[in-house]
């Protein structure tokens, strides 16, 4: 069926601050899902929404239409609660890779429909596809089989689950229309409702590496997600977490898989482990498996100590076609770029700031993310941090290592990486990892 919707008048109306009718919104989303509306018209409409926003009515209708553009999974037959987590995106944010199997080991079912690199932040699907053979495109039947057996699934939007969001997500990345609270909220919640999550924990990033760097913006997004979830029957709890410097020490696809494995083995960077435990505790409380956050944290820590989380990851990777040996021997089975360059400190002192946004943009230039939606990811490209805020360094000490295959890309990325590190004479004030909890 071909859409007969006249787009230019609707684009003009939204551009000028008007509202779209429910039927118009449903026809727009249907046309996006079916591919009957040209990308250039959708991009123009998205930009108008960035400027003018959506009313509460428009946003609810828009999100419902995104869900209705495909199938909606139901999990009433599962013997445990379904709870998901989603991050608004950050630099070095590999939390989902260790969090989902840990929560599954603790008794939750985690039907996680994840995304790809968006802007300067990495994508969970791109990280997972660094594992040889790993399949992120699953049919609803495959999605169900993996979730039932492993207790979690990490997959992308298929042609049958929230297909309209799949189209709009890629366009937003390529048209500078990412930073819109209603578009972010509808994208996230349409996927979560379509996948059948019973509740959602949101990790809303704040700082230089976040899409919404100001705390006030992040709080507004968290409030919009909680309110929209309530209107759509989905309980949402949000935490605001720090993204003023990268999370962990690895920025890249294969290297972030490795760092997540380190956490599941009982190691890994302290901030990655701490945020994993905190989010897992919130999920267990929301799912009704523990009475409070402290009990939830203990349960997640037990799943790390026993190796149950690592076992779940191995199982899930195998069920999605991935090379299980990559979990046990990542150095041998995960890709790695051929060349390296080291960025050195130009003076002695204390690292006062590590700009997550600058490093995210540098990583994108290396091929960790995409400048255009058709760009190919370089799974072995990476930036590895040797110093973070508060670290004392001497002149000539290594600040980070750049891994790359394409010399031209490395030359473009290096100035951004160099400028990301600020060195002063006094240690900066410590910034808490979790800034606020809402919902």
pTM of the model: 0.91
- Residue 52, pLDDT above cutoff 70: yes
Strand, coil or helix: 303: helix
Shared domain check, 282 and 251: yes
Beta-sheet strands, E only, within 144-215: 152-155, 199-206
Phi, psi of 79 (to 5 degrees): -80, 10
Q: Where are the alpha helices (DSSP H) in 112-199?
A: 124-128, 140-150, 163-174, 181-195
Top pLDDT among 173 and 136 is at: 136
What is the CB neighbour count within 10 angstroms for residue 135?
16
Q: What does the pLDDT look like over 162-172, one tens digit per residue?
A: 899 989 988 88
Closest CA to 202 of 217, 215, 219: 219
pLDDT at 304 over 90: yes
Using the predicted structure, report yes or no on whether residue 2 has a pLDDT greater than 60.
Answer: no
User: Do 132 and 277 sit in the same domain of this protein?
Assistant: yes
* Range of lowest pLDDT (113-127, 273-287, 338-352): 113-127
Q: What is the CATH number of the domain that holds 391?
A: 3.90.1170.30
- Of 384 and 195, the one with more pLDDT: 384
Q: Do 297 and 201 lie in a common domain?
A: yes
Q: Are 405 and 378 in contact (CB under 8 A)?
A: yes
- Domain range for residue 48? 7-53
Is residue 172 domain-resident? yes
Within this chain, do residues 87 and 20 fall inside the same structural domain, yes or no?
no
The answer as to whether 68 is a domain residue is no
Give tens-digit pLDDT for 239-278. Answer: 999 999 999 999 999 999 999 999 999 999 999 999 999 9
What is the distance between the alpha carbons of residues 348 and 425, in angstroms, rounded to a whole number? 8
For residue 263, being part of any structural domain is answered with yes
> What per-residue confidence (pLDDT) applies to 119?
62
3-state secondary structure of 113: strand
Are 253 and 110 in a shared domain? yes
Tell me the mean pLDDT in the region 72-101.
94
Let me know if residue 437 belongs to a domain: no
CATH number at residue 25: 1.20.970.10
Indicate the angle between helix axes 254-264 and 308-319, nearest 10 degrees: 140
Q: How many residues does the chain have?
A: 439
* Average pLDDT value for the chain: 94
Q: Are 165 and 24 in a shared domain?
A: no
Other CB atoms within 10 Å distance of the CB of residue 104: 25
Strands (E) in 227-333, as ranges, are 235-242, 250-252
Please give the Cα distance from 125 to 136 (Å, whole number).
7
- Identify whether 311 is part of a domain: yes
Q: What is the pLDDT of residue 151?
A: 98
Residues serving a catalytic function are 86, 165, 172, 187, 191
User: Based on the domain organization, do 296 and 372 belong to the same domain?
Assistant: no
Q: Note whether 21 and 94 are same-domain residues.
A: no
Dihedral of the CA atoms 191, 240, 181, 114 (nearest 10)? -20
Q: How many domains does the chain have?
A: 3
Same domain assignment for residues 172 and 249: yes
Question: Does the pLDDT at position 81 exceed 60?
Answer: yes
Residue 65 lies in a domain: no
Task: Assess whether 186 and 136 both reside in one domain.
Answer: yes
Is residue 108 classed as helix, strand or coil in its secondary structure?
Answer: coil
**Is the distance from CB of 130 to CB of 250 less than 8 angstroms?**
no
Residue that finishes a domain, picked among 331, 353, 374 = 331
The encoded tokens of residue 419 equal 């400028």
Same domain for 149 and 116?
A: yes
pLDDT given at position 316:
98
User: 150: domain CATH number?
Assistant: 3.40.1030.10
Last residue of a domain, one of 299, 331, 363: 331
CA 87 to chain centre: 5
Q: How confident is the model at residue 373 (pLDDT cuts 50, 70, 90)?
A: low
Cα 64 from Cα 332, distance rounded (Å): 45
**Phi, psi (degrees; rounded to nearest 5) at 289:** -90, -20
Find how far residue 284's CA is from the centre of its chain: 20
The string of DSSP codes covering 35-86 is T-S-HHHHHHHHHHHHHH---HHHHHHHHHHHHHTS-----TTSSS-BEEEE
Tell me, yes or no, whether 260 and 318 share the same domain: yes
Q: Which of 312, 331, 350 is the last residue of a domain?
A: 331
Q: Tell me, yes or no, whether 76 lies in a domain.
A: no
Contact yes or no for 246/210 (Cβ under 8 A): no
Q: Give domain status of residue 147, yes or no.
A: yes
């Amino acid at each position: 069926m071909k859409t007969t919707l006249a787009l230019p008048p609707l684009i003009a109306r939204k551009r000028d601050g008007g509202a779209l009718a429910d039927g118009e919104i449903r026809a727009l989303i249907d046309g996006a899902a079916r591919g009957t509306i040209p990308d250039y018209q959708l991009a123009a409409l998205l930009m108008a929404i960035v400027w003018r926003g959506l009313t509460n009515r428009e946003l609810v209708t828009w999100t419902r239409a995104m869900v209705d553009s495909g199938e909606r999974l139901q999990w009433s037959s599962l013997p445990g609660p379904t709870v998901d987590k989603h991050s608004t995106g950050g630099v070095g944010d590999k939390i989902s890779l260790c969090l989902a199997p840990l929560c599954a080991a603790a008794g939750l079912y985690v039907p996680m429909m994840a995304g790809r690199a968006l802007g300067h932040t990495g994508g969970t699907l791109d990280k997972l596809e660094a594992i040889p053979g790993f399949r992120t495109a699953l049919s609803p039947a495959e999605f169900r089989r993996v979730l039932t057996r492993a207790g979690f699934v990490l997959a992308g939007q298929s042609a049958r689950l929230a297909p309209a969001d799949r189209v709009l997500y890629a366009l937003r990345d390529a048209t500078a229309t990412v930073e819109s609270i209603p578009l972010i909220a509808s994208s996230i919640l349409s996927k979560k409702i379509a996948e059948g999550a019973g509740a959602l924990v949101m990790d809303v990033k704040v700082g230089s590496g976040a899409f919404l760097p100001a705390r006030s913006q992040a709080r507004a997004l968290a409030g919009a997600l909680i309110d929209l979830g309530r209107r759509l029957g989905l309980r949402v709890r949000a935490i605001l977490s720090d993204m003023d410097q990268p999370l962990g020490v690895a920025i890249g696809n294969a290297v972030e898989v490795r760092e997540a494995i380190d956490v599941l083995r009982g190691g890994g960077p302290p901030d990655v482990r701490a945020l994993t435990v905190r989010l897992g505790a919130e999920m267990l409380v929301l799912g009704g498996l523990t009475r409070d956050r402290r009990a939830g944290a203990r349960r997640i820590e037990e799943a790390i100590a026993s190796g149950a989380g690592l076992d779940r990851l191995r199982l899930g990777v195998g069920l999605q076609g991935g090379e299980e040996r990559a979990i046990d021997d990542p150095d041998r089975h995960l890709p790695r770029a051929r060349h390296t360059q080291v960025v050195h400190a130009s003076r002695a002192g204390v690292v006062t700031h590590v700009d997550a946004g600058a490093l995210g943009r540098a990583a994108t230039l290396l091929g960790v993310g995409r400048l255009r939606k058709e760009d190919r990811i370089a799974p072995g490209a990476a930036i590895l941090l040797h110093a973070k805020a508060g670290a004392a360094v001497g002149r000539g000490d290594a600040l980070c290592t750049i891994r790359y295959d394409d010399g031209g890309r490395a030359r473009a990325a290096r100035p951004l990486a160099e400028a990301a590190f600020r060195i002063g004479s006094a240690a900066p004030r410590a910034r808490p990892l979790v800034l606020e909890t809402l919902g």
